[in-house]
Amino acid sequence: VKEKGKGHFRFYRSDMKDAFPNYILMEAHLRKAIEMNEFVMHYQPQVNLKTGKIKTFEALLRWQNRKFGNVPPSQFIPLAEETGLIIPIGEWVIHSVCSQLADWRNKGYKDIRVAINISPKQFLQTNLPEIIQKALFMNQLPASALEIEITEGAMEDTIAALSMLHRLKKIGIIISVDDFGTGYSSLNYLKRFPIDILKIDQSFVREIQVNEKDAAITKTIIHLAHNLGMEVIAEGVEEEDQVQFLVSAQCQKAQGYYFSRPVSAKEIEQKVLYI
């Protein structure tokens, strides 16, 4: 454990050895990653299970460091959150996705929507709606082209979260709850917050076929979403029989390696959008 000052501690995890020898070094590189052009967005298709169509994608950040290679988000996102670097990085993500959407619209793909992950710290940033609005304006995009994914943890500060969600809804942004069912357990916020979509966490989907409890939870989340007038997406779908289960349980959309891994914008154009 190393002291960072002001009562913050950071823990060295053994799985970090591969990429960076320590957090201090990783932070130094993360600080320069934007100006060094080391970030790129990948996109993962979300498939409509009724029509088979793909109109929405989740944007996932990739960091290719010159010295240490590919660093997975599971390593650098928590560090970015802890150090506050998530604010400039998150802003970079918003601008990058909007400029990609503008590019796709110019090529004729007009009804595409992209979901951006917003970390809890970023969600509490008071000028987030203005940052998003500016990016939409600069790229001449309608707000309906953008969706944000927040976790239940981001909604723990109920009053701040409620006011942020209302400001984002007012612009016209679609709101989804990521990793639904794994965090803050009160269902109270579902009735008070303007939420459009629930994303069923991959931990429930993984054993849907063998674990009766996972199957029951998944079906219940699908019913819950429908009864509340929300859309529902299953994450982490890897197998054909998971797809069959989700279709028969009337789940609207699915996302996962079965359909496609997250890939570059170019691959999305070549393999998905050309159709």
Which residues of the chain form contacts with ligand C2E (CB under 6 A)? 44, 60-61, 72-74, 77, 90, 93, 117-119, 178-179, 202, 236-238, 256-257, 262
Select the binding partner of residue 64 from ligand C2E, Ca ion, none (C-beta < 5 to 8 A, by kind): none
119's contact among Ca ion, ligand C2E, none, with CB below 5 to 8 A by partner kind, is ligand C2E
* Most distant CA pair in the chain, distance: 54
The burial class, CB within 10 Å (0-12 / 13-18 / 19+), for 195 is buried
Three-class DSSP labels, 141-170: CCHHHEEEEEEHHHHCCHHHHHHHHHHHHH
238 binds, among ligand C2E, Ca ion, none (CB under 5 to 8 A by kind): ligand C2E
Beta carbon of residue 61, minimum distance to ligand C2E (angstroms, whole number): 3
Q: Point out which residues bind Ca ion (CB under 5 A).
A: 117, 149, 178-179, 235
If the CB atoms of residues 77 and 221 are measured against ligand C2E, the closer one turns out to be: 77
Q: Classify residue 52 by burial, with Cβ atoms within 10 Å: 0-12, 13-18, 19+.
A: exposed
CB of 258 to ligand C2E, least distance (A): 6
Q: How far is the CB of 3 from Ca ion (least distance, A)?
A: 29
Q: Return the one option of Ca ion, ligand C2E, none that residue 61 interacts with (CB less than 5 to 8 A, by type).
A: ligand C2E
- Judge contact between 19 and 234, C-beta under 8 A: no
Buried b (16+ CB within 10 A) or exposed e, 77-104: bebbbbbebbbebbbebbbbbbebbbeb
Q: How far is the CB of 199 from Ca ion (least distance, A)?
A: 6
Residue number with CB closer to Ca ion (29 or 149): 149
Specify the residue, 147 or 149, whose C-beta has the smaller distance to Ca ion: 149
| Residue 45, binding choice from ligand C2E, Ca ion, none, Cβ under 5 to 8 Å by partner class | none
At 136, list the tokens: 């939409």
Per-residue buried b or exposed e for 20-49, using 16+ beta carbons within 10 Å of the residue's own CB: beebeebbebbeebeeeebbebbbbbbbeb
Q: How far is the CB of 237 from ligand C2E (least distance, A)?
A: 6
Q: Are 70 and 63 in contact (CB under 8 A)?
A: yes
Q: Which is nearer to ligand C2E, 97 or 227 (CB)?
A: 97
Select 117 or 260, whichever has its Cβ closest to Ca ion: 117
